[in-house]
Structure 1
Amino acid sequence: MRHLLPAVLLVVMSAVPSFALDSAIKRQLNALAPEERLEQRCDIEAMERIAAEQKGMRPDKVIAYTFGEPQVTENSIKAAGAVFRSSGEWYKLKYKCRTSEQNLTIQSFDYRVGEKVPQSQWGQYYLYN
């Protein structure tokens, strides 16, 4: 579950309007194992929601497991120890995400943005600029 989202997917995602998955992203997600697909789909949803709903935030990366292992079921993930990067800064994040059987369609998503992670802690948590 700790694989990084392929760089190609990130480039494609940045060109897609919020809350939409185009066919290229779906193909990339379908190539992943179901558990990895769940995490990546929920991470994409987190970035899209934060960008749309949090003024001034432009997330380009989410990591679900930085401050603790997420609780994962077949079609849901609860990531209380997540982080996201926006404009070169890392922020704590908590989210709950539930998807369809194929882990492509979001059925419910709730999140809360936390405090900025001090740069002095980045190395300890393998965060980068």
Structure 2
Amino acid sequence: MKRILVSIALLAIAVSPVLARQTNRQSKTEAGLAKLAPSDRFQQVCDIELMERLRRAGQPYNKPDSVIAYALGDPAISGDVLKGDGGAFRSGGMWYQYSFTCSATPDRMKVITLDYKVGQAVPRGEWDAHGLSIH
């Protein structure tokens, strides 16, 4: 029994720095989001959520490094729902179009639901026109 308790204590000590870093990162993200205007914050929380979902979903888009909800067209806000079909994300050096519907809490700090559909790759010849070359 004593060995089990010691093992649990050692595991807790080993895991706590990882959890502390993760909590600290989340706190910094939330603090940064809180400084944004509500409509900008709304787009950012939806972008962050999409990036996390793409990473978790695995291939072929599991390494997104940029998401822009308004890249190819302006999304529309209706109450607590942001909807668009002109988003773009970059993964593996290529940009891909996506459409989405994202609902968030009234303070725009947390995503409640996110439905998205990945479309075609954005042709390189269109990247400059949409400002994708600078990201």
Aligned to 1:45: 49
The answer to whether 1:75 aligns with 2:85 is: no
Structure 1 gaps of 5+ residues are 1-14
Secondary structure of 1:22 counterpart: helix
Aligned to 2:66: 61
TM-score, scaled relative to structure 1? 0.79
Amino acid at match of 2:59: K
Aligned length: 112
Report which of the two has the higher share of helix.
2
Aligned to 2:126: 121
Aligned to 2:10: none
Structure 2 gaps of 5+ residues are 1-20
Amino acid at match of 1:116: A
| Residues 95-123 of structure 1: per-residue CA shift (max 9 Å, x gap) | 11000111112111100111111111111
| Matches of 1:79 and 1:45, distance apart in 2 | 15
| Residues 17-54 of structure 1: per-residue CA shift (max 9 Å, x gap) | xxxx7111000000111111101000101111111114
Q: Please say which of residues 64-73 and 37-46 is displaced more in the overlay.
A: 64-73
> Greater CA radius of gyration, 1 or 2?
2
Aligned to 1:105: 110
C-alpha displacement of 1:72: 1.1
TM-score, scaled relative to structure 2? 0.75
Amino acid at match of 1:108: T
Report percent identity of matched pairs: 35
Give the one of 8, 18, 39 matched to 1:35. 39
Aligned to 2:90: 85
C-alpha displacement of 1:63: 1.1
C-alpha displacement of 1:83: 0.4
| Matches of 2:79 and 2:37, distance apart in 1 | 11
Secondary structure of 2:95 counterpart: strand
Runs ≥4 in structure 1, deviation > 3 angstroms? none
